[in-house]
Structure 1
Amino acid sequence: MSIEAPYATLDPDHVLDAVTACGLWPDGRLLALNSYENRVWQVGIEDATPVVAKFYRPHRWSDAAILEEHAFAQELAEADIPMVAPLVFGGRTLLHHDGFRYALTPRRGGRAPSLESPEQLEWLGRLIARIHSTGARQSFEHRGRIDRATLIEQPMQAVLASTLLPPSQHAAYRSAAERVNRAVTDRFEAVGPVRQLRLHGDCHPGNVLWTDAGPHFVDLDDARMGPAVQDLWMLASDEKAMNALLDGYQQMREFDFGELALVPALRAMRQLHYAGWIAARWHDPAFPAAFPFAAEPRWWEQHIADLHELADELM
């Protein structure tokens, strides 16, 4: 594999061979699932429920960090929290095949939650509180945290080093990103110290699947240390939705309402990180195909304007 095309050799035969190496018998049915950072396939199994094979992007996480992700998922599942955890083969969850690192999980179906339903939001709030109660028991050692270095400074450097950003917009972008950085710093300092705990980290509607039995969570690929509100704000479209989430959350765990003041900062960090993520991954052929707008100067003009708006909101 190469850094420029990390998945060039990951064809269907390699996927089937990797699953077979675990002692399973694929029936030949393959379905590529929506994922850009990693590569994820649903694999049919003879006379059994399909599995999901997740092939980790090379050089992103260390083995130790991936194993922390797996251990957290298993810890949540053992606490009867509906989290899809990796399967164990020969005592191992992190598997290796032909240069790739991968893991298998059971296939769990579902539909998107209704984020306009107070009942579903309360249910999600209760489950997130339970995730946090488990997450507060210990700390990650290898997965980092929600901070400016990861979500502002590194993405900003990726954009400035990329050919996507037109040279004529370098100064404007730098100015806007630095304004966001200063505003985020000021907001975190104004709020003061908040408790850091192990989080889902990327708790958006696409990582929650709803069934007739209720919701379950998937994908701890962005699990990090951070404030509890990080796992709430992406599910709340407005104040009413946030209140419903917190009604459920507080039934299971106390919430520090001072953290709500961090939401505009976390939103700004995510938006700046999004552009940096695309820029850093542009060499992967999947990214130009999926995000062609990032090659257009007008998109960067709008992104710069959006960053100024986010900074203004934080002032």
Structure 2
Amino acid sequence: MHHATPDLSFGDLTPEFMLDALEAAGLRADGRMLQLNSFENRVLMLHVEDAQFGSSAAVAKFYRPARWSDVQILEEHAFATELAAAEVPVAAPWTLEGGSTLFHYQGQRLAVTPRQGGRGPELEDPEVLRWIGRLLARLHGVGRSRPFAERLTWASAAPAQAARDWLIANDAIPPETASAWDDAARRCIDSIQAAFDSLPGLQLTRLHGDCHPGNILWTPDRGPHFVDLDDAVMGPAVQDLWMLLTGGETDATRRQLNAVLDGYEQIAEFDDRELRLIEPLRTMRMIHHSAWLARRWGDPAFPAAFPWFGTPNYWMDQAALLREQLEAMRPKDAPPTVVRDEDVVNFDGDGFA
């Protein structure tokens, strides 16, 4: 794992290259650039002076090569544009030189949106959670108007299975821990699939897909707005709710869930059966996250940011956590409602606003 082939995907993204790419895309940047927190893509804030877009701060995203196809990215962009047209507060990408929201420049692809500032939401405040719940219901209302044709679907154990298969096929797990982790992962995948199979007629919608608190910004006058649709998928509505819950199995966590659902159901119906998917979805994310780190280990940013990853201790700890998840996913009289802070993983950290 620590000897992965260097990933040179972003090797040419010097400040000069990015300014040249932006100019080719029809944007006149004034040279001020600030790289934003992102691992999956390369994202920067800049200032543009342009007759079309005016004088404003913007956010440019250079997409990691080969992760998404052009068609998948454009489907994400179209969803953001639909949401903005329906007055759901997201930042829709600008149309760039050539008439598309996705611009190609010397092997790199970029998109640009207006910058929308804000701070993290106060998730301890029930009214904030109700507001976010209402906003998610509106987002899902637009999402249900048509399905994604090219984006991924999180409505079975398939994403976890694909992540597990990649890790095993690429010998990403140290031999001394591979058997223990794989045994736990296989059993979890079976439980995830059983949970989905137990919910016939599950309604799927286009989702934000990565709706953790870091992808919601709050301003006092406008309330919450969403950033970063990079992980937009088809799936059940609860996928966009469960990462908003924090804390252990406490009354406070249950109050959080009740507040989100109270807001959501002011706008749209919510299928309470989906609450049974909280732990399966969280387990799937854990497996998916391990594979994501392994796939990206050749990118120099990853060993520096995640020095604990890939060690035998990491994989033994993951095996233990997955065994705990087997118990958490065991069918109960009441659906599970609890997530923990440490398990809410920010895949991208793009700040793509």
TM over 0.5: yes
Partner deviation per Cα, 1:96-138 (whole Å, 9 max, x = no partner):
1111111001111110001111010000000000000000000
Stretch moving more, 159-168 or 125-134:
159-168
Partner residue in 2 for 1:54: 61
Partner residue in 2 for 1:22: 25
Once the two structures are TM-superposed, the CA of residue 22 in structure 1 deviates from its matched residue by: 2.7
Cα distance in structure 1, aligned partners of 2:124 and 2:171: 40
Q: Of 68, 80, 88, which residue of structure 2 is paired with 1:73? A: 80
Stretch moving more, 152-161 or 27-36:
152-161
Partner residue in 2 for 1:228: 237
Partner residue in 1 for 2:301: 286
Q: Of 203, 219, 242, which residue of structure 1 is paired with 2:257? A: 242
> Contact 1:125/1:246 (CA < 8 Å) preserved in 2?
yes
- Percent identity reads 49
> Contact 1:140/1:224 (CA < 8 Å) preserved in 2?
yes
Contiguous gaps of at least 5 residues in structure 2 = 247-252, 331-353
One-letter amino acid of the structure 2 residue matched with residue 5 of structure 1: L
> Contact 2:157/2:284 (CA < 8 Å) preserved in 1?
no
Kindly tell me: are residues 3 and 298 of structure 1, through their superposed partners in 2, closer, same or farther at Cα, counting changes over 3 Å? closer
> Contact 1:40/1:52 (CA < 8 Å) preserved in 2?
yes
> Contact 1:158/1:279 (CA < 8 Å) preserved in 2?
no
Partner residue in 1 for 2:341: none
Once the two structures are TM-superposed, the CA of residue 150 in structure 1 deviates from its matched residue by: 4.8
Stretch moving more, 66-75 or 82-91:
82-91
Cα distance in structure 1, aligned partners of 2:27 and 2:10: 23
1:84 matched to 2:91? The reply is yes
For residue 138 of structure 1, give the secondary structure of its aligned residue in structure 2. coil
For residue 96 of structure 1, give the secondary structure of its aligned residue in structure 2. strand
Once the two structures are TM-superposed, the CA of residue 289 in structure 1 deviates from its matched residue by: 1.2
> Contact 1:180/1:311 (CA < 8 Å) preserved in 2?
yes
RMSD, aligned CA: 1.6
For residue 170 of structure 1, give the secondary structure of its aligned residue in structure 2. helix
For residue 251 of structure 1, give the secondary structure of its aligned residue in structure 2. coil
Cα distance in structure 2, aligned partners of 1:112 and 1:150: 32
Partner residue in 2 for 1:139: 147
Partner residue in 1 for 2:199: 191
Once the two structures are TM-superposed, the CA of residue 162 in structure 1 deviates from its matched residue by: 4.7
Higher helix share goes to which structure?
1
Partner residue in 2 for 1:41: 44
Q: Of 101, 109, 125, which residue of structure 2 is paired with 1:117? A: 125
Once the two structures are TM-superposed, the CA of residue 297 in structure 1 deviates from its matched residue by: 1.7
One-letter amino acid of the structure 2 residue matched with residue 264 of structure 1: E
Partner residue in 1 for 2:319: 304
For residue 266 of structure 2, give the secondary structure of its aligned residue in structure 1. helix
Partner residue in 2 for 1:219: 228
Partner deviation per Cα, 1:251-301 (whole Å, 9 max, x = no partner):
110111111111110011011111111011111111111111103221111
Cα distance in structure 1, aligned partners of 2:158 and 2:306: 22
State how many pairs are aligned: 314
For residue 304 of structure 2, give the secondary structure of its aligned residue in structure 1. helix
1:99 matched to 2:104? The reply is no
Once the two structures are TM-superposed, the CA of residue 190 in structure 1 deviates from its matched residue by: 1.9
> Contact 2:294/2:310 (CA < 8 Å) preserved in 1?
no
Q: Of 159, 175, 178, which residue of structure 2 is paired with 1:170? A: 178
TM-score (normalised: structure 2): 0.86
Contiguous gaps of at least 5 residues in structure 1 = none
Kindly tell me: are residues 177 and 245 of structure 1, through their superposed partners in 2, closer, same or farther at Cα, counting changes over 3 Å? same
One-letter amino acid of the structure 1 residue matched with residue 133 of structure 2: G
> Contact 2:157/2:192 (CA < 8 Å) preserved in 1?
no
Partner residue in 1 for 2:213: 205
Once the two structures are TM-superposed, the CA of residue 89 in structure 1 deviates from its matched residue by: 2.1
> Contact 1:39/1:54 (CA < 8 Å) preserved in 2?
yes
Once the two structures are TM-superposed, the CA of residue 163 in structure 1 deviates from its matched residue by: 5.5
Stretch moving more, 191-200 or 22-31:
22-31
Partner deviation per Cα, 1:55-78 (whole Å, 9 max, x = no partner):
111111111111110000000000
Cα distance in structure 2, aligned partners of 1:188 and 1:149: 8
TM-score (normalised: structure 1): 0.96
Once the two structures are TM-superposed, the CA of residue 44 in structure 1 deviates from its matched residue by: 2.3
